[in-house]
């Protein structure tokens, strides 16, 4: 019991991504389970330790433990465990780039999982085999396995993995220079993901490792392909959903809404392609169901009728596979793709959504525009939505690496009083604002509502410099996560109630995570708060020692505006290491952690 519980605690730490801690508990569990001769438990724990080393990228070490787990599971006849570990070993060889070896283990895992009727495991291994053939450039073979995996995953209702396989097919078609078809499958993948988030379904952690890494890539590649085809409104929809997805990965509890649940619109030709493909997929699912039931009966025990039926179904399955192979060459599919090439950028993609963006911006009555940047490897894409026109696209020829370096230079300059910040601020201005200057003038823009992408979150747009003045001197800047999560309705406030706190005096030094902090009071923050109190009568003022957690938190919901003039930091590593500093500092009042 102790061994089992230690193993379970290890699994919890593994699920939290705290791999060294998980390893510590797994090793304790292993020692006990070996001592009492619990071979089943030993096999499970060895496999779990292998997974930890795999997650840490220590593949030779992972392989060592997986091989030990495999030997024990084979010894005690644990067929399900053998299938799992063979699949895991295949993943290790795949990660090491030894694709023929990976294929060998995946095929062994597939045979066992098919024999014992492990449909979820069969779907996983079929998908993995497809990935190997994709790496090897054998695209027809890869597509065959992906489609088989997709049929099973749809059949058993595994929505997250269905989305992952649709994503794989999208990337495969993209690699084959079929962007229109790739867009169709990427859209299906994104729409599955959005439905999952709307339901707030929590993915099993063992699936998250590979799954969450591919989600952002799916959104980005879909947006990239759409922009290459000048389908800007659709790209804006995808970028909006990408922001929500990235917030979900950080906070882990972001629920979708009615707008995000709709996902990305399909154009009529795309819907025709999807419907045709899903019709074929449904046939494969029905055949797969019947085959699965028959295969549960050992062949020697089957009646002649059952054997005949098995032969027919196997033949039908082969025909379906061939139809999948020929799908992209079907005349109706080719015609739909041709139609997309000719008319996609001019088609009306949810005019209601376009009207909603325009109406939202007009409703603000601030001459506001909505700016979405997208960082790609070879360029920066700027999407600008204005009150009076469809979204505008501007492309900037700057590599991701150069943009990242400029962001580092910008931050360094602003954090060092001896450095001139204007040069890096001007460089970023030339990439982010200059390409849309004329569009801003035409829209008579006074406010930029900004949804930053990737590393651009680490710089304030207001601090860019045009060569004469800072951007904040010309325009108001409001940061949002995504338009779909933002309420643009202006709510009249009869009476502002402000809670204003400030850390103005004193000095605190402390260690948090791997970082050392040395923070001093902000001397002009006292005047800042005093001016607020003068401007807005009834403002509650809290300074220094009065600006404590115990005094502040209870009052926050009783005010319509909360204004803090203090230090805060997003600390790399554990989310709980990020903080807002209150006036009492450490250790008297600790820190207010993000939860």
Q: Tell me the domain boundaries of the chain.
A: 1-116, 274-341, 351-485, 498-593
Per-residue pLDDT, averaged over 371-391, amounts to: 86
Classify strands 380-386 and 389-396 as parallel, antiparallel or unpaired: antiparallel
pLDDT at residue 188 in the model: 92
Q: How confident is the model at residue 387 (pLDDT cuts 50, 70, 90)?
A: confident
Better-scored residue on pLDDT, 360 or 83: 83
Which structure tokens are listed for 241? Answer: 């959903």
Q: pLDDT at residue 58 above 60?
A: yes
Q: pLDDT at residue 159 above 80?
A: yes
pLDDT at residue 252 in the model: 54
Least confident piece of the model among 19-23, 178-182, 314-318, 465-469: 314-318
Backbone angles phi, psi at 129, to 5 degrees: -65, -40
Q: What is the CATH number of domain 351-485?
A: 3.30.420
Least Cα distance to 446 among 480, 485, 473, 483 occurs for 473
Q: pLDDT at residue 587 above 60?
A: no
pLDDT at residue 11 in the model: 93
Q: pLDDT at residue 366 above 80?
A: no
In this structure, are residues 501 and 543 in contact, taking their beta carbons and an 8 Å threshold?
yes
Q: Cα separation of 68 and 90, whole Å?
A: 15
Instruction: State CA 341 to chain mean position distance.
Output: 29
Query: Is the N-terminal amide bond of 219 cis, ω within 30° of 0?
Result: no
Which structure tokens are listed for 195? Answer: 């439905």
pLDDT at residue 495 in the model: 80
DSSP 101-117: HHHHHHHHHHHHHHHTT
Class of domain 1-116: mainly alpha
Per-residue pLDDT, averaged over 202-221, amounts to: 59
Least confident piece of the model among 390-394, 434-438, 540-544: 390-394
Better-scored residue on pLDDT, 126 or 514: 126
Q: pLDDT at residue 258 above 60?
A: no
Q: Is 473 helix (H, G, I), strand (E, B) or coil?
A: helix
Dihedral angle computed from the Cα positions of residues 179, 282, 114 and 316, in that order, rounded to the nearest 10 degrees: -100
> Rounded mean pLDDT of the chain?
84
Per-residue pLDDT, averaged over 27-36, amounts to: 96
Better-scored residue on pLDDT, 238 or 494: 238
The model's pLDDT over 170-185, given as tens digits with 9 standing for 90+, comes to: 999 999 999 999 999 9
pLDDT at residue 575 in the model: 65
pLDDT above 70 covers a percentage of the chain that reads 85
Name all contacts of 296-305 with Cβ < 8 Å and 24+ positions apart: 296/117
Which structure tokens are listed for 218? Answer: 């799916």
Highest mean pLDDT among 18-32, 365-379, 544-558: 18-32
Q: Cα separation of 151 and 276, whole Å?
A: 14
Per-residue pLDDT, averaged over 357-366, amounts to: 68
pLDDT at residue 583 in the model: 83
């Amino acid at each position: 019991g102790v061994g089992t519980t230690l193993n379970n605690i290890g699994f919890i730490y593994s699920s939290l991504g705290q791999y060294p801690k998980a390893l510590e508990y797994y090793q304790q569990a292993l020692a006990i389970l070996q001592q009492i001769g619990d071979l089943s438990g030993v096999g499970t724990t060895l496999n779990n330790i292998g997974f930890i080393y795999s997650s840490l990228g220590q593949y030779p070490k992972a392989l060592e433990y997986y091989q030990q787990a495999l030997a024990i599971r084979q010894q005690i006849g644990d067929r399900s465990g053998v299938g799992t570990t063979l699949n895991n070993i295949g993943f290790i060889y795949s990660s090491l780039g030894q694709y023929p070896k990976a294929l060998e283990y995946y095929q062994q895992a597939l045979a066992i999982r098919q024999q014992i009727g492990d449909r979820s495991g069969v779907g996983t291994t079929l998908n993995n085999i497809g990935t190997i053939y994709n790496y090897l450039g054998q695209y027809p073979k890869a597509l065959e396995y992906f489609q088989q995996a997709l049929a099973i995953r749809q059949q058993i209702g595994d929505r997250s993995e269905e989305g992952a396989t649709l994503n794989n097919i999208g990337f495969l078609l993209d690699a084959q220079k079929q962007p229109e078809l790739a867009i169709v499958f990427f859209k299906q993948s994104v729409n599955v993901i959005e439905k999952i988030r709307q339901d707030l379904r929590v993915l099993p952690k063992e699936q998250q490792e590979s799954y969450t890494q591919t989600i952002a890539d799916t959104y980005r590649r879909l947006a990239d392909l759409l922009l290459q085809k000048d389908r800007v409104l659709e790209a804006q929809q995808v970028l909006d959903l990408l922001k929500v997805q990235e917030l979900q990965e950080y906070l882990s509890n972001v629920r979708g809404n009615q707008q995000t649940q709709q996902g990305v619109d399909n154009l009529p030709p795309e819907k025709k392609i999807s419907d045709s493909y899903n019709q074929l997929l449904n046939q494969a699912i029905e055949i797969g169901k019947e085959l699965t039931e028959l295969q549960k009966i050992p062949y020697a025990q089957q009646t002649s009728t059952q054997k005949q039926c098995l032969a027919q179904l196997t033949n039908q399955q082969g025909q379906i596979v061939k139809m999948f192979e020929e799908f992209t060459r079907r005349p109706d599919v080719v015609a739909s793709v041709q139609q997309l090439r000719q008319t996609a950028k001019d088609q009306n993609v949810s005019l209601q959504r376009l009207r909603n963006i325009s109406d939202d911006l007009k409703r603000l009555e601030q001459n506001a525009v909505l700016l979405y940047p997208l960082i790609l490897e070879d360029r920066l894409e700027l999407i600008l939505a204005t009150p009076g026109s469809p979204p505008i696209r501007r492309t900037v020829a700057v590599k991701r690496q150069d943009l990242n370096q400029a962001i580092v230079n910008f931050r360094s300059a602003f954090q060092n009083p001896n450095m001139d910040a204007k040069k890096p601020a001007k460089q970023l201005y030339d990439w982010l604002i200059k390409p849309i200057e004329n569009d801003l003038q035409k829209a008579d823009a006074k406010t930029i509502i900004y949804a930053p992408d990737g590393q651009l979150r680490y710089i304030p747009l207001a601090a860019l410099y045009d060569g004469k003045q800072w951007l904040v001197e010309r325009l108001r800047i409001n940061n949002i996560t995504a338009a779909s999560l933002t309420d643009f309705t202006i709510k009249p406030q009869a009476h502002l109630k402000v809670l204003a706190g400030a850390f103005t005096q004193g000095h605190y030094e402390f260690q948090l995570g791997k970082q050392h902090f040395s923070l001093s009071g902000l001397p002009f923050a006292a005047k800042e708060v005093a001016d607020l109190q003068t401007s807005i009568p009834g403002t509650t003022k809290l300074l220094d020692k009065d600006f404590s957690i115990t005094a502040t938190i209870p009052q926050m919901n009783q005010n319509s505006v909360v204004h803090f003039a203090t230090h805060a930091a997003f600390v790399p590593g554990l989310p709980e290491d990020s903080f807002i500093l209150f006036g009492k500092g450490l250790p008297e009042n600790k820190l207010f952690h993000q939860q």
